[in-house]
A and B are shown apart, each in its own frame.
Chain A
Amino acid sequence: MQKVWPTPSISAPSDPMQGWLYDGVTAVRRTVRVERDGSGWRLLLEEGDAESLDPSRLQPVETRGETEIYGWKDRPGWRLGLYKPLDPDFAAALPRMTIYGRWIDRIGLWRAAGIGIAASAALLLLVNRLPDLLAPLVPFSWEQKYGDALLGDADARLCAAPTGQKALDAMAARLSPSAGHYKVRVADIPIVNAVALPGGNIVIFKALLDEAEGPDEVAGVLGHEIAHVENRDVTRALIRQYGFSLSLSALGGPVGGNIETLSAARYSREAEARADGGSIAALARARISPLPTARFFERLAAAEKGAGGLAEPLAYLGSHPLSETRRQRFVASARKGAAYRPALSAQEWLQLREICATPRKK
């Protein structure tokens, strides 16, 4: 169909433009020319065939040397190459070439990058803060159900000498008035660590008991894990992981994944620092000295120093704050002249250390 051009050209009829054509049917290259046809344009093949050509329906593909190459929507493989210079009227009627993508071309590269950075920052903020808002809305009983489903109660690695368990429960009760809702256990795992799992399940690894030089150190760690539970950090982490992180890492590929990992580590360090604060408060309430816990971190810090002095420059990658920083907080919280009492009696502490002596049988 021929289109009528609204503004007839004033210039004299120009020379036809020379070029070539692939018709998308065979691979043969044909010599063609494009010339004015009344108010429009006409494509003439060497063999004498001709058809009308509407430049506004062409799609610029690329500029290759002295040739401009165009496609035609609805005609796959159809490619017209025209040698420069193009007729200015013809060139003016052509659509623009896409460079970065249609949306970005429309608003410009720098503005698009600016908008992108702003939107990304907002998204990361949302991913980091939304779990804080949502976590308190999730009933604790749901978390408990999930924790039970995940853990069951048949883990052969959980230790349960009754006297040791009693000592542990006593310690938890001193640290938190709602300790009755949580299940604090010791697992026979040779790693110096403790974890808060969904549903108030706190597991202290046996190696931590062996490593600790007194019950107060264990109390500091237990207080930290209880603070995680009471801050709903586990629910938060689950919301973050399954609600946002996975989709963000998947959508963003390697780049998105790395940014997300960094941002997750920062978020985790904040949560850890909060849990340390909770632990310090719980120790103070229970009149347990924070200094043994500080000494525990001191020993951890010494181990970090062994990492070749890389701990500090790499701190932003870690999920936990530096042990040295944590130690200082616990030291600073100690009050001179306070009447501190040990977290457990000497006998209870002995019983706690023996908690794995009789493995739990179901």
Chain B
Amino acid sequence: MNSMEGRVAGDQPVSSFTFTGNWREYLPIALTNFLLTLATLGFYRFWAKARERRYLWSRTHFIDDAFEWTGTGKEMFVGFLIVMAAFIPAILVINILAQALIMRGQLIAGGVLIAVIYAGLFYLINVALFRALRYRLSRTWWHGIRGGSNDSGWRYGLSAIWRTLAGAAPLGLLIPWTMASLWNERWNAMSFGPHPFRADARFERLMGRWLLAYLGPILAGGLAAVLVASTVASSTSQGSPLEAVYTLMMSLVVAVAIFYVVFLFLGLCYYALFFRTVAGSTSVAGLEFGFTARTWDWFKLILGNIALVLVTLGVGALFISYRNYSFLVRHMEAYGLVDLDLLTQSRTKAPSDAEGLADAFDIGAF
């Protein structure tokens, strides 16, 4: 019998996902990638990304063996060219047309055309998100088996449009439903080996934090406005108008800063719960996934990234993708048994456009 336990039993709970990389190993990769990317005006970035992933995947241990990334720089470059050739000329032409219309005073026609461009872009960005996930699974191997999908994602793009509209219509209150149901739709189309992924994330338990993230900034904004008004009022009653303007500027800066921090923190609260929820509702081949990062963990990650960049005068920026990736792996969990005899090779088609679409819009897969 060939089965592997997702979680190793013992005195201490050991995660089935471990990250075994270290920054000294990664440093030469990051530096040479940066050098070659700079030397080629950015052209090398496809190969740089492939190298980076090859390293990160190989240092991601799952149960008893590491992952392997087999995507190549060449295929990502070709995928990018395909997308550029297919979409960019069209976008450019429509853009020039819209500009000409607006300059001629036909504001409505120009505006409608621009709205069409943005709707088209929104559609393509969502298709790109889907296809990037599919591509990444198809190039991710474990025990000589890969993942993938036979869905092209074009229908998913339409679904994303109507679900976003429906979620935003009641004043944005149902956005958690949009996000959870799109996560489900994406992952239910994916598979690893012969086994489909199953995702059934429910949005109800996200609603509390969504309301917090939604109403919090509004409350904070109101509070900040009152603060600004009162300080300005007190300084206008005494002192010169210049002083009043100065106080207004200063208190505005403080108010915006407070608003921003509150907005970020509450947003993070929501996202932390979102990822714990959706990962916890996703499974494949009898393995249930989990994600353990809490708001505070995310907060530390982001503060750490900022501090790293500041302390190293920018050099640390080379390590941000490394830190983000290892953060994800260190907080991933899986429970259950994998039957290796039944984990056979994937029959999905390996996509040839790589991440072209996602790369064109500069987005990630998760």
In-complex Cβ contact of A257 among B42, B144, B360 (8 A):
B42
Select from chain B the residue with minimum beta-carbon distance to A153.
Answer: B104
In chain A, positions 109-151 with a C-beta closer than 8 Å to chain B are 109, 112-114, 116-117, 119-120, 123-124, 149-151
Contact check, B36 vs A112: say whether CB atoms are below 8 A apart: yes
A6 to B47, CA, bound (A): 37
A62 to B59, CA, bound (A): 11
- Cβ of A77 under 8 Å from chain B: yes
From known contacts A112-B36, A152-B104, infer whether A26 and B341 are also in contact, taking CB-CB under 8 Å.
Answer: yes
Could you tell me the distance in whole angstroms from the C-beta of A290 to the nearest C-beta in chain B?
Answer: 33
Contact check, B144 vs A248: say whether CB atoms are below 8 A apart: no
Could you tell me the distance in whole angstroms from the C-beta of B148 to the nearest C-beta in chain A?
Answer: 11
Contact check, A77 vs B43: say whether CB atoms are below 8 A apart: no
Could you tell me the distance in whole angstroms from the C-beta of B177 to the nearest C-beta in chain A?
Answer: 34
In chain B, positions 289-324 with a C-beta closer than 8 Å to chain A are none
- Cβ of A250 under 8 Å from chain B: yes
The contact size tier of chain A is 35 or more
A17 to B14, CA, bound (A): 32
Please, what's the 1-or-0 string for B27-58, where 1 marks a CB less than 8 Å from any CB in chain A? 00000100111111111110100010010001
- Cβ of A10 under 8 Å from chain B: no
Interface centre among A23, A62, A112, A253 (most CB of B within 10 A): A253
Select from chain B the residue with minimum beta-carbon distance to A197.
Answer: B103
Contact check, A120 vs B341: say whether CB atoms are below 8 A apart: no
Please, what's the 1-or-0 string for A19-41, where 1 marks a CB less than 8 Å from any CB in chain B? 00011111111000000000000
Inter-chain contacts of B44 with A (CB < 8 A): 101, 116
Inter-chain contacts of B43 with A (CB < 8 A): 251-252, 256
Inter-chain contacts of A112 with B (CB < 8 A): 36, 39
Select from chain B the residue with minimum beta-carbon distance to A120.
Answer: B41
Contact check, B103 vs A101: say whether CB atoms are below 8 A apart: no
From known contacts A64-B66, A100-B36, A155-B104, infer whether A26 and B42 are also in contact, taking CB-CB under 8 Å.
Answer: no
Inter-chain contacts of A252 with B (CB < 8 A): 40-43, 45
Could you tell me the distance in whole angstroms from the C-beta of A271 to the nearest C-beta in chain B?
Answer: 22
Select from chain A the residue with minimum beta-carbon distance to B4.
Answer: A27
- Cβ of A255 under 8 Å from chain B: yes
Contact check, A151 vs B103: say whether CB atoms are below 8 A apart: yes
Could you tell me the distance in whole angstroms from the C-beta of A180 to the nearest C-beta in chain B?
Answer: 24
- Cβ of B136 under 8 Å from chain A: no
- Cβ of B105 under 8 Å from chain A: yes
Could you tell me the distance in whole angstroms from the C-beta of A99 to the nearest C-beta in chain B?
Answer: 8
In-complex Cβ contact of A27 among B38, B105, B343 (8 A):
B343
Could you tell me the distance in whole angstroms from the C-beta of B34 to the nearest C-beta in chain A?
Answer: 9
Contact check, A259 vs B105: say whether CB atoms are below 8 A apart: no
- Cβ of B161 under 8 Å from chain A: no
Report A's interface with B, CB cutoff 8 A. Answer: 22-29, 61-62, 64, 76-79, 99-101, 104, 109, 112-114, 116-117, 119-120, 123-124, 149-152, 154-156, 246, 248, 250-257, 259-260
